[in-house]
Amino acid sequence: MDLNQENIQKIVAQVLSEMKGTSGQSAAASAAPAQFEIPKKARVAMLTALRKIEIKEFDIPEITDDEMLVKVEGCGICGTDVHEYKNDPFGLIPVVLGHEGSGVIVKMGKNITMDTTGKPLTVGDRIVTCTIPCGHCDACLNMRDRDNLCENSGIYGLMPEDDHYHFNGWFSDYLVIRKGSTFFKVNDMSLKLRLLIEPAAVVVHAVERAKSTGLLTFNSNVLIQGVGPIGLMLLAVVRTMGVENITVVDGDEKRLQMAKRFGAKYTVNFKNYKDLDEQIRRIKEVTGGRGADFAFQCTGVPSAASNVWKFVKRGGGLAEIGFFVDNGSCTINPHFDICNKEITMVGSWTYKVSDYPITMDFLKRAVGIGLPIEELVTHEFPLDQMNEAMDVNMKQLGIKIAYVAK
Ligand SMILES: [Zn+2]
Ligand SMILES: [Zn+2]
């Protein structure tokens, strides 16, 4: 990376952090490692049955030389958490959920000296966690740099409860970071930005996949279908890349208005069109009569996954990132949608460890160009109100709902 640009980002982040009165920068600046008083016991918010999160208390375990203890400052709620809360598709109950978290290191094993990028690490630093690749599956051994496809990847917040750590999800007071984990120092980012790193990594990875087709370029007509947290974040990434011709499709007027503020040029509320043909007509109208050069499908709705093919131009590209859980199948017409149009399609699955540093740069840059990225965090709840937080999420009353430690 260009060193100048990095410096500029640091300065922008520092100024913003000071303006907003966040504590991240002052912790980074202090010379002596901070001391923290660690209680004997701490709480976790455990999903013990469908739609039932209970507060449980456990002894905080002694950490080994290869582990760290982190005091949780907050954690965003993901669509995946909501699915687990409602239906337990991963069969994890009882489980401490929460994988979009950040916190401050309060205790460190002596073998840990730096984060995954090699930055020196000390007690008092703020971190986020990424995945724990297994190191022995086909993806880990034979597909260089595709660790997102690891068959047994561990992730805090989606682990069986019965492991002896207990503190293994971010919906808790503390988290034990175990050996083999990947984690990043994030002292120069506000808490809200830190809570957005994980979902932002999902879209950064999707954009990297899209770029691999060679069809997503500076002046592409981009279409984003679905502007929930992921779609809005995706919009922010392509805007930050300099793409300007962006059309978004959604059925929620509030989200479409937000998309405008994130730089969408055209918004299409599909509820205002009598059928798909009318929608296609409108999308052609705003894309020079052709259709989108590149489309991102960000909803979890099978019919939307069918429709999006109709919005892409002949020879265009498509990325599917809406189905992190199985919401059913959809129909594609192999003649019209695939052969005749020669659409290049990529799927995108979570993120690679190496997507994290890019993601952090993106978030700082997005703030730097004035995108209201922190406003994506619309609701904050304390640990003992996680059922209420899930409820707000299920009713789609906000965008990103988060647990924030009080
Ligand atoms: Zn997530
Ligand atoms: Zn693996």
- Dump pLDDT digits (tens) for 76-123: 999 999 999 999 999 999 999 999 999 999 999 999 999 999 999 999
> Would you say 259 and 227 are in contact if contact means Cβ atoms under 8 Å apart?
yes
Report CA(72)–ligand 1 centroid distance (Å).
17
User: Across the strands, what pairs with 314?
Assistant: none
Which of 159, 262, 208, 188 lies closest to 7, judged by CA? 188
Question: Per-domain residue ranges for the chain?
Answer: 33-187+372-404, 200-347
Sign of CA dihedral 143, 145, 149, 153: positive
Report CA(220)–ligand 1 centroid distance (Å).
28
Of the candidate CATH numbers 1.10.3720.10, 3.40.462.10, 3.40.50.720, 1.10.1380.10, the domain formed by 200-347 belongs to 3.40.50.720
Report CA(101)–ligand 1 centroid distance (Å).
10
Sign of CA dihedral 295, 296, 298, 303: positive
Q: Which ligand is nearest to the CA of 147?
A: 2
- Please compute Rg for the chain using Cα positions: 21
* Residue-wise pLDDT tens digits, 335-386: 999 999 999 999 999 999 999 999 999 999 999 999 999 999 999 999 999 9
User: Across the strands, what pairs with 371?
Assistant: none
Neighbours of ion ligand 2 (CB under 5 A): 134, 137, 140, 150
Give the mean model confidence (pLDDT) for residues 192-197.
97
Neighbours of ion ligand 1 (CB under 5 A): 78
CATH superfamily name and code, 33-187+372-404: Medium-chain alcohol dehydrogenases, catalytic domain (3.90.180.10)
Mean pLDDT of the chain: 91
Q: Which ligand is nearest to the CA of 97?
A: 1
Q: Which ligand is nearest to the CA of 155?
A: 1
Report CA(204)–ligand 1 centroid distance (Å).
13
Report CA(403)–ligand 1 centroid distance (Å).
14
d(CA 205, CA 352): 7
- Degrees (nearest 5) of the Cα angle 357, 362, 367? 135
Q: Torsion angle of alpha carbons 264, 266, 269, 272, nearest 10°?
A: 160
Give the mean model confidence (pLDDT) for residues 185-207.
97
So what's the pLDDT on residue 22?
43
Give the mean model confidence (pLDDT) for residues 55-74.
96
Q: Do domains 33-187+372-404 and 200-347 have the same CATH topology?
A: no
DSSP character string of 55-86: EEEEEPPPP-TT-EEEEEEEEEPPHHHHHHHH
Report CA(281)–ligand 1 centroid distance (Å).
34
User: Across the strands, what pairs with 347?
Assistant: 320
> Would you say 390 and 98 are in contact if contact means Cβ atoms under 8 Å apart?
no
Task: Kindly report the pTM of this predicted structure.
Answer: 0.88
Q: Six-digit token pair at 244?
A: 């300007």
Residue 149 φ then ψ, to 5°: -95, 10
Asked if residue 208 has pLDDT above 80, the reply is yes
Q: How large a percentage of the chain has pLDDT more than 70?
A: 91
